[in-house]
Structure 1
């Protein structure tokens, strides 16, 4: 079973936290809530907090739990900070559903903030903080997995350096989890029963290996600058939970709590969907996203785990540097 997190810190280890990425692993959708969700507080939306938050999630995410452990309040989504009336001194969440390192990533899902746009949004936030504190589409098919990983890492490093130039000094670079084990991938029938889609996971491992190498390179290049770059082995932590679900209190590993099963066409927890009653026993909330119970475990592993899970130091140690 998951251990109970320690009580909130009296004084936050970080004065603020700014979150960028894809809401598959970070905070919920930055596109706002539908009027239906606002009126009824449906389980697929914000059943853990009343009022609009700019997110579509079943509960707290990994980032939320890390914020709790660091003594920070729930971070507002960037889209609800435009007026400048919301206190953003503890941080902002820029994560957007379907966002990717490349601008064209996720375009088939509609509007979203790409990673580049999220970096630009951080620049907007800096201006707000000052007041509050007195191309052509890329054809992916031309790349093999190693080349595509190279492309992603090169673009990722460029955006990280843009954030560095804006003043950020402590970075958690999370690896990608085993995407081939998501219910969405299992439903394709490209893997034997009880197995994950191997070629998808192989590509993820290539990217993660290069990301860890990038962390080593950045730490070497920026020694003595007060900077620290940390790699979180999401893949390893995720795989351990999938391999030993009962140890962590899970009974369902290949389907989502919200009506998602193998060979079902539904891809996400839509309005009027009826989620399972025992959601804490499910690893996946829907075809893509993990549950709050899973997120809590990952957050605790990243916060105080060994070097094999968070390299070269964990989040608690990074906060104290």
Structure 2
């Protein structure tokens, strides 16, 4: 089993999902992230550009104490890929590990949540295999099940642990690597075996089974993020002579997101009794940003802030490479990933947004259930 580390909020402004966790405890009136008007789509940045940063601090209890407010949920558990990985690949044979300091957590910190995400992970175990070392979603679930047992030992038994986990939020964001590092890779035969529709159906079926495993382990509150607009990432732009977005790549993402949304509706509608499942439309958020970047505080949409080659997207950011100036004005940090500024915007919309972004309820309402 891979060594896991608690996800301190001082790191997680890099990752939209974990920013959502920070918002849960610091974004009430007077502090934290400046809220969008609840119920109203993507909120542009204030005049002058930029996005208010998430407050830094420790886990949920520390963050709550620092603002004088009670935590809205006991913990946040995160599952996903390099969009939200905070260093779990460090001890694996991989070129994707982010070299954070060695973990120094103890079992009590598990009570604030754990980031299980792993760069190159996918819904399918074989996705991302070209990067050798990664923790696929199924193994992340194994680690969560083991963590629930550890929590039971820390809180006085299985009943107390079940109550704590049921009141916590699970954020799940996968699917990108099943396309970028599986379906679209020439060394995989996936495209020869499945049409785009068949592959989207396969992923949704596997995803439903995996979410059901989390439910059986005690989870009841889920936020599941759709895949963003992969057709406009710098790596894809760099493959076009005119650096244009690829409608063919986005055409793969649309049916997957539609399947996930429908699947969550079925599970929320009685498939998983007592569970609440929320869909976050990352694709819609990215399309809104790319459609009018200036209104959201961005100036550069067609290249990474740190990278090599055309669109700074042919080789991703490497150690000791100087990043761009004014990174908050960039949509993309490197060949594949958004900047912290985009992640904070996504987090804000997840927490306060209307049904056009997050449905059937937003994260703020989910936390209050």
For the superposition of Structure 1 and Structure 2, which TM-score range results when normalised by the shorter chain?
0.7 to 0.9
Q: Deviation per CA, 1:197-248, whole angstroms, max 9, x where unpaired?
A: 111101100100111111111111247x331111110000111011111112
Q: Give the Å deviation of 1:259.
A: 3.2
For residue 250 of structure 1, the aligned residue among 283, 298, 306 is 298
Q: 2:260 aligns with which of 193, 205, 211?
A: 211
Q: Which moved more, 1:263-272 or 1:120-129?
A: 263-272
Q: 2:89 aligns with which of 28, 31, 39?
A: 31
1:22: which partner in 2?
81
1:59 matched residue in structure 2:
none
176-185 or 15-24, larger mean C-alpha shift: 15-24
**Partners in 1 of 2:313 and 2:277 — Cα distance?**
40
Asked if the contact 1:259/1:276 (under 8 Å) is kept, the reply is no
Q: Point out the structure with the larger helix share.
A: 2
- Listed as ranges, the matches of 1:158-177 within 5 Å are 158-177=209-228
* Structure 2: unaligned runs, 5 residues or longer: 1-44, 56-62, 93-97, 157-186
Query: Secondary structure of the residue that 1:171 maps to in structure 2?
Result: strand
Asked if the contact 1:33–1:52 (Cα under 8 Å) also holds between the matched residues in 2, the reply is: no
Gaps of 5+ in 1: 35-43, 54-79
The answer (yes or no) to whether the contact 1:268–1:286 under 8 Å persists in 2 is yes
Secondary structure of the residue aligned to 1:317 is: helix
Distance change (3 Å), C-alpha of 1:261 and 1:247: farther
Q: Please, which of 75, 99, 110 is the counterpart of residue 121 of structure 2?
A: 99
Residues 149, 293 of structure 1: CA spacing in aligned structure 2 closer, same or farther, 3 A cutoff?
Answer: same
Stretches (4+) displaced over 3 A: 2-9, 263-266
Cα distance in 1, alignment partners of residues 354 and 251 from structure 2: 24
**Is the partner of 1:287 in helix, strand or coil?**
coil
- Give the RMSD, CA atoms, in angstroms: 2.4
Q: For residue 269 of structure 2, what is the aligned residue in structure 1? A: 220
Alignment partner of 1:157 out of 208, 211, 223: 208
Shift of 1:268: 1.7
> What pairs up with 1:37-186 in 2 under 5 angstroms?
51-52=101-102, 84-85=106-107, 87-134=109-156, 139-141=189-191, 142-186=193-237
Shift of residue 269, structure 1, vs aligned partner: 1.3
1:61 aligns to what? none
Partner of 1:68: none
Higher relative contact order, chain-length normalized (CA < 8 Å, sep 6+) = 2
1:305 maps to which of 353, 356, 369:
353
Q: Secondary structure at the residue paired with 1:32?
A: coil
Q: CA deviation at 1:32?
A: 2.5
